[in-house]
Chains A and B, each alone.
Chain A
């Protein structure tokens, strides 16, 4: 029997009040071809048997691995208060509260999220919020085009490849997106090529609306953000910084080096890594761009009695007011995840966040030493925070075999950046405050066995 709130009698009364014979008549305007057909689902099973089957399937997940995988999603310790407070029923409500007079609590939580993120990125305006870092970055690119009335954006090849793919999808309808190549050799290898950027900005093509670069970049390296911003601004373009929020506790924030827009993935702020999300897109800008930023903005004001009150503000940017002229029609508020980020930041505080970032950097330094000692040196020589690429022959094969050794050896870069020959034999690895010395020792011993061969012990059976 289907679960539904209405009895057959209820439905009968509603149909007769409407003067129609069947519910299908309500959908008469939708061509039959476009209507949902019968869903292709398996036959029902007893709950006991179904639960057992699902548990067997879930048991195939490897949650026991020592993980060095980052690449845009980072494992962190989260205070128990974050998940516990998220369970409160008060939060399971409209993610966009259109009636401020009855939504003060929700509005206050959004206001606090915006205030916390604004402090983190050192910019004036934060919108709440976006699907994920990729969507926020793509929105940032569109903002630069609207603000400058130009139609071309340059994106560093060291911005996350998924973000660049999303940008390309958003820009498919008539806007131009060009890659800025990476430095191939020397101390700056793996970072955005400033000479190439300067040439692209003055290549006689359409004028550039915005320049997008990541800090740290996808390869974990620290980019010369102030210099990238200076070049962008000299060409009349806006500068978008793609940030990892925990890093902002120890690195200069976008506002300090002249970024006009900051975008990023909010997952590291108290949200567990999980397949495909849901995650949290961060988006912030200078006050000058406030009319261009998509997403909810909550302001603090006073009511008629002079008491503090919260309202959604500058609504004319939004799709329910401006329809096709809205700042975005691909826009949401990940309200519960924004709340998780707020609780995480409020719980661990600025000193705690600095500790998280610093401990990740310290453990990554130990990881670098341990991997170099077994013959897997860094690919690049520039500074990094807590993620870096190491040179490993047959990186894909090694990655696959190390899983049998209990190690998730980061990401084989050839899988996501196949057109960068310098990264063909490289693993992108990261450490955070939850990475233990035992994890590092396990990774190093497994890699040592791989790199020195002939293989003995548990890995021997896994040889190709």
Chain B
């Protein structure tokens, strides 16, 4: 069972909405599918992202994948620790492996996303 306090995209990003801000990362399932992550390319702070826009790239030993913003907003912080320790995404995807923090442009956008049960069903279906 994935964490129930998060919302999810079909592209396997999670978002934790906290007031006007939201933290974004990729799910444990996504990290597992990618394998050992060796590089995460993150956007510059203050970049404005639309909902579902590509904001970065995650690269593993066997694949490369774009990262999509679950919600729109302005980038207020990125996880600098990933530059030197990209393996945090594999080890702690919902915690130390977070990627960006956004200031939400439209909090209602989170309602478009999957809840934990729906995401669980998605990955169970493969």
Q: Chain A residues in contact with chain B, CB under 8 A?
A: 149, 291, 316, 321-322, 325
Contact = CB atoms under 8 A, between A and B. Distances in A.
A291 B39 contact: yes
Contact of A325 (B44, B47, B66): B66
A313 to B, nearest CB: 10
Interface string B56-78: 01010000101000000000000
Given A291-B39, A316-B59, A149 B44 contact: yes
Nearest to B58: A316
B41 interface: yes
A291 B41 contact: yes
A291 B57 CA distance: 11
B44 A322 contact: no
A316 B64 CA distance: 6
B1 to A, nearest CB: 32
B39 A316 contact: yes
Max chain B Cβ within 10 angstroms of own Cβ: one of A149, A291, A316, A325: A316
B64 A321 contact: yes
A342 to B, nearest CB: 29
Max chain A Cβ within 10 angstroms of own Cβ: one of B39, B47, B59: B59
A322 B41 CA distance: 14
Given A321-B64, A322-B64, 11 more contacts: A149-B44, A149-B47, A291-B39, A291-B41, A316-B39, A316-B57, A316-B59, A316-B64, A325-B57, A325-B64, A325-B66
A320 to B, nearest CB: 11
A79 B64 CA distance: 44
Contacts of A325: 57, 64, 66
A415 B66 CA distance: 47
Contacts of A149: 44, 47
A451 to B, nearest CB: 59
Nearest to A291: B41
Interface in B45-62: 47, 57, 59
Contacts of B41: 291
A325 B59 CA distance: 13
Contacts of B39: 291, 316
B59 to A, nearest CB: 5
Contacts of A316: 39, 57, 59, 64
A315 to B, nearest CB: 9
A461 B64 CA distance: 69
List of 6 A-B pairs having minimum Cβ-Cβ separation, nearest first: A316-B64, A316-B59, A322-B64, A321-B64, A291-B41, A149-B44
Contacts of B44: 149
Contacts of A322: 64
Contacts of B66: 325
Nearest to A326: B64
B42 to A, nearest CB: 12
Contacts of A291: 39, 41
